[in-house]
Structure 1
Amino acid sequence: MRKRNRRPLCRKIVLKLPDLDHAKSAVLNSLSSPHSRRNYKFAMEQFITWYCSEPRLSLNRSVVLRFRLYLESLGLAAGTVNQRLAAVRRLAYEAADSGLLSPELAAGIRRVKGVKQLGARTGNWLTQDQARLLLEKADGEDLRSVRDLAMISLLLGCGLRRAELSALTVEDLQIRQGHWAIVDLVGKGGHVRTVPVPTWVKQAVDRWRESAKVTAGRIFRAVSRHGTPWGEGISENVIWYVVRRSADRMQLEHLAPHDLRRTCAKLCHVNGGELEQIQFLLGHVSVLTTERYLGCKQDLEEPVNDRFGCLFSRLSVNLR
């Protein structure tokens, strides 16, 4: 009996909405970080909406290049454009692995280059006097002000991220080598670090815990309009509004919680902190990231290579 000839596997070159939704779900299931899932989901949904807005011949390199031009026309930063292009590449990978897209087309999409980032964006830092005034404006006698002061103290004194602050628990605060610290803090990318807690920050946290009677679980809770704590934690948006509210009292614009993390790094550096120790404090993998947080500029008035004097003895005699 003659065997039937099997039809060769023919993958699609045009993806419809159900195919794109299937590939999008595969991408989201492969990501472990909730922040990455949120960003990739937004980027892929933006691309799918744009791709399905008019009929296209195929999902290929030319289409992704046109999408890159569309993103640039929106006035987005280079980093934002590159992040969304990375999500589109991932979408093409998963579609090819699932048999929905031709591997040749997926390889072409992979070759789409991102946008070059010329220069570095200027961050936002507070001076030491501004940081002190921000704490004074946040202070008060009511329970909400006591909580806000403790939150801003941790952001300024320990350089925590919003997600790290909202997830902070009572059990995380422990004594190490005679000093209070946040032990085994799991930060961005799953990196674990230990963050020293200054005495003034610990006092602000203790004042909040005593006032709200927080003995276990997450340290920070919501405060009702009647001035009583409730719930088992706070969201990252609450932290953003706390910083924004305190900045408005100082008439500061565009101050975000991450700016307090930058301020913590810069104040440490200005007061003699070593770059390596600041890197440990912030939990950066690369020291280049820490340098960007410091906002370092070259000092030509007192250059560092003038500090060790003249090394050549004959030149030192002539200079006299």
Structure 2
Amino acid sequence: MPAAELARHLDRYLRHLSIERGLSANTVAAYRRDLTALLAALVDRGVTDPAALAPELLRGYVVGLRDGEAGLSASSTARVISSIRGFTRFLVEEGVLTADPAQDLVAPKLPKRLPKVLSQQQVEALLAATDGDDPVRMRDKALLELLYATGARVSEAVALDVDDLVGPDGTPELIRVIGKGDKQRIVPVGSYARAAVEAYLVRARPLLAGGGRATPALFLGARGARLSRQNAWLVIRAAAERAGLTVDVSPHSLRHSFATHLLAGGADVRVVQELLGHASVATTQLYTHVTIDNLRDAYQLSHPRAR
């Protein structure tokens, strides 16, 4: 079986990830990079038949990545193992293999990283840095207010259409968000974000749309097309600079802050899970550790016998 046959199976798997599982283009690209490197290494070893994918061969490949010149980190090694296991599992499901050669590959344990969270004062400073009456500033205000009010990912926010705003008389009291795997969730929108979005829709979006073709996109760029994820990140970074924030502000900062502030305010973790669109409550519970750390710090500072 020629090496082209391995590449054909890889192409089928990537289409499966994109079309049937609905994974994002960036996620599929990551799988493509990992598995293309694997297939190239297999061909170098003379392996062109999927049936020759022995467990020891795959273990040796992973060990070589971890301990060789590449020196992959634990997180990168875990990602590669996940890519390999997904691919071999697909080959089994498709009847190409009778047994999964990667089922015993064990990913390294990763330390739990607490998400970087902005304080409420820092969030307020970030949002205030988008104040202004010109169309771009009004769009930026609506975008950041909506991100903090709903916990939406930046990619989810820029994918919103005007029709995804749900409420009486067109009032954006709720938004319809399409998350990972094309899963839909409905999230309420707070009064500050509602006011910012309504002002943007009435006073700014028509001006931005005038420079381009008609589009259903909620957030528009300067030329009237849908605002890109990269440009949304630039909006956040520019606002952080204007606000004078010295902490690292990432595209996920407002999402992390949304979840942590809700939990700190007494929200149930399963409610926050639903709002964030997490498949597992275990993912959401990571934010409870942040809240506990905040409580511990407050206790240490405030209790007369804590120190």
TM-score, with structure 2 as normaliser: 0.77
For the pair 1:18 / 2:14, whether they are aligned, the reply is no
> How far is the alpha carbon of 1:158 from its aligned partner?
1.0
Distance (whole Å) between structure 2 residues aligned to residue 64 and residue 132 of structure 1: 50
For 1:194, which of 186, 204, 215 is the aligned residue? 186
Q: Is the 8 A contact 2:154 2:252 kept in 1?
A: yes
Task: Give the superposed CA RMSD.
Answer: 3.0
Q: Is the 8 A contact 2:156 2:179 kept in 1?
A: yes
Matched position secondary structure for 1:193: strand
Would you say how many aligned residue pairs link Structure 1 and Structure 2? 277
Matched position secondary structure for 2:107: coil
For the pair 1:145 / 2:131, whether they are aligned, the reply is no
> How far is the alpha carbon of 1:25 from its aligned partner?
0.7
Distance (whole Å) between structure 2 residues aligned to residue 247 and residue 191 of structure 1: 31
For residues 59-105 of structure 1, give each alpha carbon's deviation from its aligned partner in whole angstroms, at most 9, with x where no partner exists: 43223223322443546554443332222233334556778x764xx
Matched position secondary structure for 1:219: coil
AA of the residue aligned to 1:85? I
AA of the residue aligned to 2:292? K
Partner of 2:84: 88
Q: Summarize the Cα distance change of 1:59–1:253 in structure 2 as closer, same or farther, 3 Å threshold.
A: farther
Distance (whole Å) between structure 1 residues aligned to residue 150 and residue 97 of structure 2: 50
For 1:55, which of 39, 45, 50 is the aligned residue? 45
Unaligned runs of 5+ in 2: 300-307
Partner of 2:302: none
For 1:239, which of 232, 239, 246 is the aligned residue? 232
> How far is the alpha carbon of 1:159 from its aligned partner?
0.5
Structure 1 segment 68-83 matched on structure 2, within 5 A: 68-73=62-67, 74=70, 76=72, 78-83=74-79
Distance (whole Å) between structure 2 residues aligned to residue 280 and residue 91 of structure 1: 30
Identity of aligned residues (%): 25
Q: Is the 8 A contact 2:141 2:196 kept in 1?
A: yes
Q: Is the 8 A contact 2:136 2:204 kept in 1?
A: no
For 1:257, which of 225, 239, 251 is the aligned residue? 251
Q: Summarize the Cα distance change of 1:97–1:193 in structure 2 as closer, same or farther, 3 Å threshold.
A: closer
For the pair 1:30 / 2:21, whether they are aligned, the reply is no
For 2:195, which of 192, 203, 206 is the aligned residue? 203
> How far is the alpha carbon of 1:137 from its aligned partner?
1.9
For 1:271, which of 256, 265, 270 is the aligned residue? 265
For the pair 1:170 / 2:166, whether they are aligned, the reply is no
Q: Summarize the Cα distance change of 1:20–1:182 in structure 2 as closer, same or farther, 3 Å threshold.
A: farther
> How far is the alpha carbon of 1:26 from its aligned partner?
1.3
Q: Summarize the Cα distance change of 1:202–1:238 in structure 2 as closer, same or farther, 3 Å threshold.
A: same
For 2:283, which of 289, 295, 299 is the aligned residue? 289
AA of the residue aligned to 1:43? D
Partner of 1:40: 31
Unaligned runs of 5+ in 1: 1-11, 224-228, 304-320
Q: Is the 8 A contact 1:157 1:264 kept in 2?
A: yes
Q: Summarize the Cα distance change of 1:92–1:260 in structure 2 as closer, same or farther, 3 Å threshold.
A: same
AA of the residue aligned to 1:68? V
Matched position secondary structure for 2:177: strand
Partner of 2:303: none
AA of the residue aligned to 1:285? A
